[in-house]
Chains A and B, each alone.
Chain A
Amino acid sequence: MSQQPDNLDRTELFINRELSWLAFNRRVLEQGLRASLPPLERLKFLAIFSTNLDEFFMIRVAGLKQQASAGVLSKDPSGLSPQEQLAAIAAAARELVRQHTQAVGALLDELRPHGLTLLKRSEWTAEQREFLREFFDHEMLPILTPMAVQQLQPCPLLPGLQLYVAVTLDGQEAKRLLVIPVPPVFIRYMTVPSREGTFLAAVEDIVADNAARLCPAAGVSSIDVFRLTRDADVSIQEDEAGDLLDSVEQAVQDRRRRAVVRVEVNAGASETLLCWLKEACAVDDQDIYTIDGRLNGGSLWDIAGRSGYDRLRLPDWPPQPPRDLAGYDSLWDAIADRDVLLCHPYESFEPVVRLLQAAAEDPNVLAIKQTLYRTSGDSPIIAALEQAAENGKEVTVLVELKARFDEARNVTWARRLEDAGCHVIYGVVGLKTHAKALLIVRRESGRIRRYVHLATGNYNDKTARLYSDIGLMTCDSQLAQDTATFFNLLTGFSESVAMEKLTIAPISLRRKLIDLIDREIAASSPDRPGLIIAKTNALEDKKMSQAFYRASQAGVQIKLNVRGVCCLRPGVKGVSENIEVVSILDRFLEHARIYYFSNGGHPEVYLSSADLMGRNLDKRFETLFPVLDGRLKKRLADLLDAYFEDTVQSWRLRADGTYEPAKPGKKAVSAQTALYEQAVAAQRKTRMTSARFKPIKSQKS
């Protein structure tokens, strides 16, 4: 017992966050290579890989570059300086991009026999070329702005994430460069006339094919395509790279704003172009990615989403009616009777929308309060809230405008809500509201009853079909009181007030989780080891990792289901031998946050909007709430188990930081398939039970 506690600050105990993220994106890429998946599903994953990587460069790499530029020498928990991280990222990313390019090429070839062909320029028929030439002359040319960039001082700011066609011209002394921005208004892949099947031409090819005509006097020596990635907006960075920027002076941040962090260019691009890019974009070789294929993999979504090719996709899994609502006509009755758990997308999100719609129309409803983060303007939720306000209810909506890349879209519907008479509150300065909470105050049979919906996922009916999330509907009076208090806090109506069941970040969520882990440690004995199961999207926070290490050292069994970044290193002798980490990537995006503690035989299960990341625990409004109904706790415990039994779509984190795919044992089990089948079975059972009590009219005597 006199053994010195291990130094849990050792750098080898932590995996670098960025490299762990790249490992996650590698798993996304592997999905794109999984032969058992239909081709368009694979194409979707390949598209996701690209958009993921774009964001990563805009935010994380940009943040690191700011650090490097400011001369920050501090190291991350794994012991890497910003420079070292950038080098490691460049090496890993380059390899991933190479594999991705290859995979895209192979998959596009595979799609051809299915009647979906992305044509190379060289494959265009004369007829097609003529069609595209017409299109270029009439539709594109009027809005193209070719620039002789070398002659322009200062160099014009070329926006990030769009494509540029660069024409290198033979000059008398030096070669000249003409850059043609490809306006993003054009669809990336144009359908061209053909007899059968779909034939597509890429927009940059159309520009390239006609570029020579823009400068008839000169000889064209090379036509290339490039794309820039820039440091993202400040507001986005605050949240997503706050950890990196805390140490960077404002002056450096201002200087680096919108700086180029990555240049992608096709293989074999002209030297003239490369030299100019380096100089004009102030990047070095490490930042230049040569792509032996098409740029901007993200636009593969256009092809993956083409209608009419369902045979190349997985069969649709329509969401099932939630089992907890079976037999109820009125949501009010159902929730008042007992807590309702909604497991999306296996179970439908529609009851949440229906609850709001019912609240909007119900004369007994006095008030509605809701947080909104990443929702769409045409969402039925917004419509219901508008309706409620118009019907004279007190409607308070906390809108988070800092949901990344969605700001412009958010502003329009937020205005609409204001016009309808809702109190719209735009969050708290410096703290993004990531919590998902809905409170409905209803006067019924002479008393006030509050209906609460707390969830791990956003109020977005579209993503609720793609993200796996959990929602809880309850009338629990204490939870309702705490939720009301939480809204009072968010709206500035009150300062922080003690809560009993709900835990809020950044106030006490971190401490609560640490306390729960410590309690598990205290309750754990060799005869009866403790058990913690956590499901989260990311485990990046060092203190949380250390708490898990301490628990592992105390003999607590720890099962972590972490979809993305995981900086905790499992399987280290004397530190994390009792920790296993599993990541699931499947058709739905794993998004729920569930925390289970065995608590000496009295299990407690919590749901949360927060991942185990510094930003979630310290810089955002997040909720952690208990599931109290024993029936629902059991259901969640079973759900958590399913992820560790998955032998098809799961990856296991090894001590060296790499992930190994699960080996299918006797039986191939996919957690998501199992969960969907359960939802269908439950629904079928309900139908049969209700059928059993039908009147016996049909029986003939």
Chain B
Amino acid sequence: MFAMAQTETMELLQAEPLAAIDIGTNSIRLLIGQLMPDGGIEILEKAHRTVRLGQDSFRRGRLEPETMHTAVSILREFKRMIDLYKVRHIWTVATSALREARNADVFCDRVLTATGLQVDIIDGPQEGRLTVSAVRSALNDKPPSLGTHTLICEVGGGGTMLTALDHGQIDAAQNLGLGSIRLREILGAGELSGESANELIQNEINATLAALEGQISFKSIRTVFIIGSDARFAAARAGKKLPNPRFSTISRKAFDKLVDMIRPLSLEQVMAKYGVGYNDAETLSAALMIYQTLLRETSAAKVIVASVTMRDGLLLELARRCRHQDDPGFGREVIQSAMAIAEKYKVNLPHAQRVAACAVRLFDVLAKEHGLRTRHRTLLEAAAMLHETGTFVASRSYHKHTYYLVANSEIYGLNHHEVQIVAAVARYHRRSAPKPTHIEYMSLPQESRIVVNKLAAILRLAKALDISDVRQAEQLTFKLSQDAMTVFVPGLANISLRKRLLESRNDMFEHVFGLQLEFEGI
């Protein structure tokens, strides 16, 4: 998933070409850029080709051979372009169209065989996070500001990504099954049209939003960002440009006027009147209706259109990986999301926070020993926050309940694979160490299993230390030698600690790191 090497930012001496491919509902898009030594990204190529993967998977739950064939040949051409620039850092992602296709694995394999591109099927929250990261980067701390209560929203072909931000931090994320292509699928192939079609679409939008009740507090939202080609169309027609060239605003009134104008038009009329192609015209009306309905739910007086895409987020993420940096907001968002889950399952939060604080302190001290990256530190912290989640179900063997509760949660900012790691680390904080008979553990790739072992060992130790106060974590001191580590614990007797450790079978630490543990009180 990510290279295990240095934890510090690497300085680049040369520009590094990067490429992102987004296999979407309606098209495949390519973005090639180069990461400049100063950290900026210069875009080199943009391309997009229509292929209706979503139509297949939304209708039949699988990709048809012909569609696959087209998609593979497009990707082959894109790969040729990528090779021209000698790109080493490529990230190919697929979204809802592949998430919902039963034969997604077959497709990914065909792509790999034909092009060498490894397709990463990402989930909704991750899409959202990438987009938010792109918006943040485009804002670059200059106006328009993100605002205090903000909704970032993108209507895609397969779904609508909603991300609520509180003072710039991600607060909640929802992936609604409201997509412009999906909505058109509801209508069937041209069987319904005109106002009756619009009504049906509107009902579907209203119903979906009603089901959201309570998850996002729309009324408190004051700033709405919208993203995507339909949003950009609205900006070009009804918006005002802002000094930051990647943003425009549209007043609520102007937005309503535009939607009222487009709603009654047939596809052909939209194409003729606005000079847009079939593919753009097809999604326009439904997408704008979704934005309009959302906007009405909030207290925002206008929308801000951001000319960024998830692909910008992909390049930013690649750039960070390339420089071994993490998304500045990433850690906090993940922990916030983990805390929300912990709260939901009535975890003793102060205890969880103490363990987490202690765990990350250990992680930092042991940097040389484990050789992991900052991102793993976040996984550890999240696992610590969540390790007692299972007590919600039963206190007996609660670590096993912890595992499945966490494994099936959506932790904002983490992909599915990372959530599995967090769940496993949380599970192995007590009792048995990982074993070949543990199916979930064995289903992880080897490099992830190593990560789980290292992080779980640290978590066990943190749990055993059971400091009385978060601040105490900072006061822990350590002495590392060739084959031992001495922990200086303020105000604790050696003997009781040793005992607890043995109780929790903390030989795992010594086993994983090859370090004998010693404790001394101070």
Contacts and interface: CB of A to CB of B under 8 A. Distances in A.
Interface residues of B, number: 30
A394 B84 contact: yes
Nearest to A477: B42
Given A481-B45, A498-B232, A493 B15 contact: no
A446 B279 contact: no
A496 B277 contact: yes
Contacts of B433: none
Nearest to B77: A493
B46 interface: yes
Contacts of B13: 446
A484 B44 contact: yes
A511 B236 CA distance: 11
Contact of B47 (A445, A450, A480, A497): A497
B81 A366 contact: no
Contacts of A447: 14-15, 34, 36
A497 B17 contact: no
A485 interface: yes
Nearest to B279: A495
A497 B46 contact: yes
Nearest to A515: B236
Contacts of B229: 498
Contact of A446 (B14, B42, B44): B14
Contacts of B77: 493
Contact of B49 (A494, A508, A511): A494
Q: How large is the interface on A (under 10, 10 to 19, 20 to 34, 35 or more residues)?
A: 20 to 34
A515 to B, nearest CB: 10
A539 to B, nearest CB: 22
A481 B46 contact: yes
A367 interface: yes
Interface in B266-290: 275, 277, 279
Contacts of B186: none
Nearest to B277: A496
B85 interface: yes
B48 A497 contact: yes
Interface string A373-406: 0000000000000000000001000000000000
A511 B86 CA distance: 37
Interface string B297-309: 0000000000100
B44 A495 contact: no
A494 B44 CA distance: 14
B42 A441 contact: no
A477 B85 CA distance: 15
Given A446-B14, A495-B50, A498-B232, A481 B34 contact: no
Given A448-B34, A495-B279, A366 B46 contact: no
Nearest to A507: B275
Contacts of B17: 448
B50 A446 contact: no
B72 to A, nearest CB: 16
B396 to A, nearest CB: 59
A296 interface: no
A652 to B, nearest CB: 36
A324 B50 CA distance: 43
Interface string B236-254: 0000000001000000000
Contacts of A507: 275
A446 B36 CA distance: 9
A488 B47 contact: yes
A196 to B, nearest CB: 65
Interface string B335-357: 00000000000000000000000
A484 B45 contact: yes
Contacts of A493: 47, 49, 77, 81
Contacts of A488: 45-47
A623 to B, nearest CB: 17
A450 B44 contact: yes
B15 A495 contact: no
Interface string A435-450: 0000001010111101
A485 B46 contact: yes
Contacts of A445: 14
A445 B15 CA distance: 9
Contacts of A450: 44
Interface in A322-367: 366-367
Given A448-B34, A481-B43, A488-B45, A511 B85 contact: no
Contacts of B46: 481, 484-485, 488, 494, 497
Contacts of B279: 495
A336 to B, nearest CB: 14
Interface string B69-84: 0000000010001001
Contacts of A443: 86
A204 B372 CA distance: 92
A481 B42 CA distance: 9
Contact of B85 (A366, A446, A500): A366
A480 B45 CA distance: 9
Contacts of B37: 446
Contacts of A366: 84-86
Interface in A435-491: 441, 443, 445-448, 450, 477, 480-481, 484-485, 488
A480 B85 CA distance: 15
A448 B49 contact: no
Given A484-B45, A494-B48, A495-B48, A448 B85 contact: yes
Interface string B84-100: 11100000000000000
B466 to A, nearest CB: 52
B232 A448 contact: no
B15 A446 contact: yes
B84 A441 contact: yes
Contacts of A485: 45-47
A508 B275 CA distance: 8
Interface string B28-54: 001000101100001111111110000
Nearest to B78: A493
Nearest to A481: B43
Interface in A10-51: none
A508 B232 CA distance: 15
A443 B15 CA distance: 10
A447 B42 CA distance: 10
A25 B253 CA distance: 54
B275 A495 contact: no
B118 to A, nearest CB: 22
Nearest to A511: B275
Given A447-B36, A450-B44, 13 more contacts: A367-B84, A447-B15, A447-B34, A448-B44, A477-B42, A477-B43, A481-B44, A484-B44, A484-B45, A493-B81, A494-B49, A495-B49, A500-B245
Interface of A: 366-367, 394, 441, 443, 445-448, 450, 477, 480-481, 484-485, 488, 493-498, 500, 507-508, 511
15 contacts: A366-B84, A366-B86, A367-B84, A394-B84, A446-B15, A446-B37, A448-B44, A450-B44, A477-B43, A481-B44, A495-B48, A495-B49, A495-B277, A497-B48, A498-B307
Among all A-B residue pairs, the 5 with the closest Cβ atoms: A446-B14, A494-B47, A447-B15, A497-B46, A488-B47
